[in-house]
């Protein structure tokens, strides 16, 4: 079985949401202190800590939101339903647009590497779902003698 572009996008978004959501739900303090890369001393800076004090309730709610996006994406990928894919796309876009806008307006305090990393990663979750809104072209069937070129 081959994966369509639609299913690849759905599986990618679902994997991303599962990683972020599972981490936030299971290890909220670690997520708060080390997101996005899990390393408090190298790599990216601490993107969440820069935005205010630790709030377990808020972090677990964010984790649950991401897990809900993952669950709906998995159902859409398995069902291969255009309607389900569109619903997942709308959910990601409705979540990601204001999320991106907020973070673009709050880049002060970030070094250039983190500002670019955060902006690109949040833009990705807004742009990737857009193709899910449209029907994909059907793959051509095998040509026979009676099939027009």
Residue 139 lies in a domain: no
pLDDT at 140 over 70: no
Q: What are phi and psi of 114, to 5 degrees?
A: -70, -40
pLDDT at 142 over 80: no
Q: Is the dihedral of CA 6, 7, 10, 15 positive or negative?
A: negative
Residues of the domain holding 52: 12-133
Q: What is the pTM of this model?
A: 0.84
Residue 148 lies in a domain: no
CA distance 10 to 70: 9
Answer whether 51's CB lies under 8 Å from 109's CB: no
Whole-number mean pLDDT of the chain? 89
* Length, in residues, of the chain: 149
User: Which residue stretches of 27-111 are H helix?
Assistant: 28-34, 56-79, 82-104
Matching residue, tokens 């790599």:
43
pLDDT at 143 over 60: no
| Total count of domains within the chain | 1
pLDDT tens by residue, 37-69: 888 777 788 888 888 899 999 999 999 999 999
Residue 141 lies in a domain: no
CA distance 5 to 12: 10
- Among the listed ranges 72-76, 86-90, 140-144, which one has the minimum average pLDDT value? 140-144
Q: What are phi and psi of 129, to 5 degrees?
A: -70, -15
The verdict on whether omega for the bond into residue 65 sits within 30 degrees of 0, i.e. cis, is: no
pLDDT computed for residue 46 by the predictor: 84
Residue 1 lies in a domain: no
Residue 104 lies in a domain: yes
Residue 143 lies in a domain: no
More confident residue, 42 or 104: 104
CA distance 17 to 71: 9
pLDDT at 147 over 50: no
CA distance 76 to 102: 28
Residue 149 lies in a domain: no
Work out the percent of the chain whose per-residue pLDDT is above 70: 89
């Amino acid at each position: 079985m081959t994966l369509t572009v639609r299913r690849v996008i759905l599986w990618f978004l679902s994997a991303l949401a599962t990683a972020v959501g599972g981490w936030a739900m299971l290890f909220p303090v670690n997520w708060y202190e080390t997101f996005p890369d899990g390393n408090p001393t190298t790599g990216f800076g601490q993107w969440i800590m820069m935005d205010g004090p630790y709030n377990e309730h808020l972090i677990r709610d964010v984790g649950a939101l991401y897990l809900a996006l993952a669950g709906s994406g998995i159902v859409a990928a398995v069902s291969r339903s255009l309607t389900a894919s569109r619903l997942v796309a709308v959910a990601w876009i409705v979540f990601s647009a204001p999320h991106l806008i907020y973070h673009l307006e709050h880049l002060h305090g970030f070094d250039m590497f983190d500002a670019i990393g955060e902006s690109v990663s949040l833009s990705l979750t807004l742009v990737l779902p857009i193709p899910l809104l449209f029907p994909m072209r059907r793959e051509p069937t095998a040509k026979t003698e009676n099939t027009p070129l």
